């Protein structure tokens, strides 16, 4: 377990599906465009339970690593830093993150992302990490830049949002020796 201030960061467990559902359900409108896959798999508690079982296997396979941010004062999930699109052949991965709307702007995701990066680079020996963000997503871009990522380029017409809009995405990278 990683901790800072009154928050902990740990991989999602299958028996935490209700807490995961509550976090997703409370933030669905904010997340549906850029966390479309996760949003679509957590529409009901039952669907979230099934998804968490699937995630448990993906953690074992090192194909997806969702690190949950927990407020230790309330024991509620308040955010997520996930490691996805893992390619152990390089080894490289993509990071994504979000925070509950009530916790925005407090630096929590920035700090959690730093701890997750330190952990996964040491544990999995990643040499490259990537983040993608919509050019209008100022909050995500700030987290990315504060964690030492550099803009590698903008890929035009790269992502379809839930509403069907096709948008450009900025790609940010960070390499490790």
Query: Does residue 92 lie within any of the structural domains?
Result: yes
Is 145 part of a structural domain of the chain?
Answer: no
The 3-state secondary structure of 74-124 reads CCEEEEEEEEEEEECCCCEEEEEEEECHHHCCCCHHHHHHHHHHHHHHHHH
Query: Does some domain include residue 117?
Result: yes
pLDDT at position 119 is 98
Give the domain CATH number at 56: 3.40.630.30
pLDDT in tens, the chain (177 residues): 999 999 999 999 999 999 999 999 999 988 887 787 888 899 999 999 999 999 999 999 999 999 999 999 999 999 999 999 999 999 999 999 999 999 999 999 999 999 999 999 999 999 999 999 988 888 899 999 999 999 999 999 998 887 788 989 999 999 998
Range of the domain at 35: 2-131
On whether residue 61 sits in a domain, the answer given is: yes
pLDDT recorded at residue 39: 87
**Does the residue 19 lie in any domain?**
yes
Whole-model pTM: value is 0.93
Q: Is 44 strand, coil or helix?
A: coil
Q: Is residue 87 part of a domain?
A: yes
Residue 104 included in any domain? yes
Query: What is the per-residue pLDDT across 16-68, written as a single tens digit (0 to 9) for each?
Result: 999 999 999 999 988 887 787 888 899 999 999 999 999 999 999 999 999 99
Domain membership of residue 173 (yes or no) is: no
CB contact at 8 A, 6 and 72:
yes
Half-sphere exposure of 51 (CA within 13 A, CB side): 21
Give the number of domains in the chain. Answer: 1
Which pLDDT value is given to residue 111?
A: 98
pLDDT of residue 72: 97
CB-based contact 92:126 (threshold 8 Å): yes
């Amino acid at each position: 377990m990683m901790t800072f201030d009154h928050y902990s960061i740990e991989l999602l467990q299958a028996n935490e599906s209700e807490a995961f559902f509550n976090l997703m359900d409370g933030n669905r409108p904010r997340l549906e465009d850029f966390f479309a896959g996760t949003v679509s798999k957590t529409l009901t508690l039952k669907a979230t339970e099934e998804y968490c079982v699937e995630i448990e296997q993906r953690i074992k396979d090192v194909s997806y690593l969702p690190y949950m941010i927990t407020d230790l004062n309330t024991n509620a999930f308040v955010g997520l830093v996930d490691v996805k699109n893992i390619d152990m052949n390089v080894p490289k991965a993509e990071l994504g993150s979000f925070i509950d709307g009530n916790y925005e702007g407090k630096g929590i995701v920035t700090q959690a992302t730093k701890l997750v990066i330190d952990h996964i680079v040491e544990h999995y020996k990643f040499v490259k990490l990537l983040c993608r963000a919509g050019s209008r997503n100022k909050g995500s871009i700030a987290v990315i830049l504060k964690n030492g990522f550099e803009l590698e380029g903008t890929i035009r017409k790269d992502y379809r949002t839930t509403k069907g809009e096709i948008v450009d995405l900025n790609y940010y990278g960070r390499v490790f020796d």
